[in-house]
Structure 1
Amino acid sequence: MGRGRVELKRIENKINRQVTFSKRRNGLLKKAYELSVLCDAEVGLIIFSSRGKLYEFASAGMNRTLERYQRCCYTPQESNLADRETQSWYQEVSKLKAKYESLQRSQRHLLGEDLGPLSVKELQNLEKQLEGALTQARQRKTQMMIEQMEELRRKERHLGDINKQLKNKFQLESEGQASQFRAIQGSWESAALVQANSFQGHPSHSGAMDCEPTLQIGYHNFVPQEGGNVQRTVEENNYIQGWVL
């Protein structure tokens, strides 16, 4: 029995649909390659999967094939429009190129290069242009210097204010330290005065301090009285000489 006709419709089973896609995609790419080789044809094939993945085949390069396709699909009216747009772009490019060359030539003239082909009038115009540019540059320089001086003056005033604040703070701290030192000194003096008054109020201590103890070392100089007993005096003298203190 022969194979029955397969009804073309979307495969509902996701796995079967993916398997069928892989098999038929590979077969289609193979057929496109065989067609390009066997028949010397320019073949371009583009495939997007359901997930958005790209598969492509081009026997002569995809960009070249797409450009050829666009040229073949244009109508004569569209072709004429494209030609006019192309000519317009060419003219625009030519204008921009000429302007670019003119700007380069003017730049060289301003730098003092390639002045030989210029006439006297052109040189005079160039001189006026340079003088005008020099005047503007000097004005701009003067303006910038004035702005910098103003900025420096502002910084100077700010630093002067900070210096005054620090000076006032230092003076206040110095006065506080001086008053504190004077208060400590006054407390010391009052304490010393109180202590002196307390000593003056107790005379016994002063008398005791005035009465210094005496210590005599050596023999006593004994002088006998007139009319006294000389023998007794000699004995007492001998008795006293027996000890030192």
Structure 2
Amino acid sequence: MVRGKTQLKRIENTTSRQVTFSKRRSGLLKKAFELSVLCDAEVALIVFSPKGKLYEFSSSSINKTIERYVNNDKSLGRFNRKIPDQQTTEHLKEEVSTMTRKLELLEDSKRKLLGQGLESSTFDELQLVEEQLHRSLSNIRAKKSQLVREQIAHLKEKEKFLMKENADLRKRCEVLPLTLTTVPGEKEGNERRIMEVETELFIGPPVRKRSH
């Protein structure tokens, strides 16, 4: 049976495309390995899947092979290697300039919020600063009210806990039994129940009764 020739065009079926990619990728990596071994060649292979997954092979070091390629390609070495450096430098300069302007605006806004440097400000600028201060004050008051509510709720929880502990202690005191004490000289079994009795105790000279 003669095998049909595969047309070189994109495979529309997703499953078939993934299967073909896996098979051909393995074959390509195998061919690269065989070429490096049989011919003692320096081979570097980089493949990205449709989903962005990286597959690579290198007979030595892929970074060194790429560096060698860049150094040996005259057109790439003379032009393309210099252009990214220039573009990067210009881009960094623009970023520094933009950040400097933003920093100056922030410093100016900060001074105005503190009531400084208002001499050259217009009426609209002063009104904008006033609105910003009102918004900041509203946010500060809202945050303060929230903290106060949280503290009150915490104190209420603590109060409930202490009241519960107090109630538990009262119940324990009510169920405590009377203490049995043996008085010296008494026989065993003749313990006396000692109860605490409140008495008024006065320390000082005796008070004489007045005669009528």
With normalisation by structure 1, the TM-score equals 0.42
Instruction: Mark the structure with the bigger radius of gyration.
Output: 1
Q: TM-score under structure 2 normalisation?
A: 0.48
